[in-house]
Amino acid sequence: MGWQKRERGFNSKTGHAAVMGLSTGKVLDYTAKHKMCRSCDQAKKAGKQPNDPDCRKNHSGSSKSMEPLAAVELFNKVTKSNVKFSIYTGDDDSMTESHLKQKVPYGVEKWSDTVHIKRSLTTRLYNLSQRTNSQYNESLNNVVGSKNPKLHFYGGSESNDYRVSCSVSQVNLGYRYIPQTLASLNIEPGLFCVDHNTKMDMKSSKDKQRKSTVAFKRRRSQLHKHQISETSKNEGKEGTMYESGIGLNLNSSATTLELNNSELSITDLYDITAAVTKQQQEQYENAVPKYTSRPTVQKEKFDDSKFYHFVLFDIETNSTGKSAEVCQLAAVDRSGKQFSCYILPTRDIDSHASKVNKLTVKTVNGIRRLFKDNRQVEAFELSQVLR
Ligand SMILES: [Zn+2]
């Protein structure tokens, strides 16, 4: 199912649904749903009785109900050709399955769609090796999207239906659907048209071949993993940057303290738009922490004539990201003078960090001790070490 609007089309006026073969990816049947009809709407606007022999409106419920209804329509229509669709794969967030069970005269088995399950578990995983997935579905939606861009609205007229039909033909036949359509209309396709379509077909079949190789899939998955790890690394460093309502900063403990202990609950705070006295507004403004700029180090150019005292240092931490604590601090200068100190972190050491630095925290006789290579070492507090 695809909609002509973003965000799963919860309010879309049109949608298209297709039944696709699990192993071939070919479209077996399709339908387009319209919630409105332009010519009828225009007639109503002009105060006339709508009289439209080519009315496109075929759906009156909500946009969300398009998917189950379209599925039931397609699964029932196929019985006329003495065929049945025995297995349905789809995501788990619509009522399509239960509608199919109730309204289709033959039994339909449901397979869960692996890609969608993974997306709902974590939006980041994307297993490319799965064959029974919705990539065919996405590929059809991409083609429809290219012919029926979401920026423009073609719903409510036959234009939308033609665009969906062309997309289905292109998925099933490739670009040669264009000369074939022309031929069946008794129009001889032009030289450039045939030439272009052959080229496009060759390009897409080459693309398909290239993308189906193991090397390509491996590379794509590597790139994807790399991107994910980079993103989570950055997110770890930056902390939460985007979250609904995060800019309001109303529920942090610091904020409530700073409101002169007036014990404002969240419900009080939601009323702020209703009636706010100037004094109250000042209170709210005071609650927002003052801006502190990030400290910057002055850049200095290297001067040959000057003597520099270089100190090399290294730290070990108990984890990565913003919450990491230092467990060991070591330094050496050019004279060979060395410094090394262990620091007892307030939280235990991450197992991944332990693997690297061989440091662990164990509790001996009720006291937390730092161990290196399973031997206890003398550890200090961070403030002591930095002094
Ligand atoms: Zn109409």
In a domain, 304, yes or no: no
In a domain, 169, yes or no: no
In a domain, 21, yes or no: yes
Q: Give the distance (Å) from ligand 1 centre to CA of residue 226.
A: 51
- What pLDDT, on a 0 to 100 scale, did the predictor assign at position 122? 46
In a domain, 350, yes or no: yes
Q: Give the distance (Å) from ligand 1 centre to CA of residue 35.
A: 10
- What pLDDT, on a 0 to 100 scale, did the predictor assign at position 94? 67
- What pLDDT, on a 0 to 100 scale, did the predictor assign at position 15? 86
Q: Which domain holds residue 354?
A: 311-384
Instruction: For the chain, state the CA radius of gyration.
Output: 32
Give the residues of the chain that fall short of pLDDT 50: 121-132, 251-252, 254-261, 272
CA contacts within 13 A on the Cβ side of 48: 9
pLDDT digits (tens, 9 = 90+) for 140-168: 888 888 898 878 888 888 888 999 999 99
When divided into structural domains, the chain yields a total of 2
Q: Give the distance (Å) from ligand 1 centre to CA of residue 167.
A: 24
- What pLDDT, on a 0 to 100 scale, did the predictor assign at position 110? 76
Q: Give the distance (Å) from ligand 1 centre to CA of residue 46.
A: 14
- Cα–Cα distance for residue pair 156/42, rounded to 1 Å: 11
In a domain, 356, yes or no: yes
- Cα–Cα distance for residue pair 109/97, rounded to 1 Å: 9
- What pLDDT, on a 0 to 100 scale, did the predictor assign at position 231? 87
- What pLDDT, on a 0 to 100 scale, did the predictor assign at position 162? 92
pLDDT digits (tens, 9 = 90+) for 261-291: 455 555 555 554 556 777 877 888 888 877 8
Q: Give the distance (Å) from ligand 1 centre to CA of residue 181.
A: 27
Whole-number Cα distances in Å, 344 to 309, 320, 321: 29, 16, 18
Q: Give the distance (Å) from ligand 1 centre to CA of residue 300.
A: 74
- What pLDDT, on a 0 to 100 scale, did the predictor assign at position 254? 47
Q: Which of 118, 133, 154 is the last residue of a domain?
A: 118
- What pLDDT, on a 0 to 100 scale, did the predictor assign at position 42? 87
Q: Which of 68, 92, 118 is the last residue of a domain?
A: 118
Report every protein residue that has its C-beta within 5 angstroms of ion ligand 1.
Answer: 37, 40, 52, 55
Q: Give the distance (Å) from ligand 1 centre to CA of residue 36.
A: 7
Contact 149, 160 (CB under 8 A): no
Q: Give the distance (Å) from ligand 1 centre to CA of residue 348.
A: 68
Contact 39, 91 (CB under 8 A): no
- Cα–Cα distance for residue pair 136/237, rounded to 1 Å: 37
Cα dihedral across residues 21, 27, 29, 33: positive or negative: positive
Q: Give the distance (Å) from ligand 1 centre to CA of residue 30.
A: 21
For residue 353, give the CATH number of its domain. Answer: 3.30.420.10
**Residue appearing with tokens 């009720």:** 366
Contact 100, 72 (CB under 8 A): yes
In a domain, 280, yes or no: no
In a domain, 194, yes or no: no
- What pLDDT, on a 0 to 100 scale, did the predictor assign at position 332? 92
Q: Give the distance (Å) from ligand 1 centre to CA of residue 49.
A: 11
- What pLDDT, on a 0 to 100 scale, did the predictor assign at position 351? 86
**Residue appearing with tokens 């930095």:** 386
The 10 Å CB-count burial string (b at 16+, else e) for 20-29 is beeeeeebeb
Q: Which of 67, 90, 118 is the last residue of a domain?
A: 118
Q: Helix, strand, or coil here: 29?
A: strand
Q: Give the distance (Å) from ligand 1 centre to CA of residue 42.
A: 9
In a domain, 170, yes or no: no
Q: Give the distance (Å) from ligand 1 centre to CA of residue 60.
A: 12
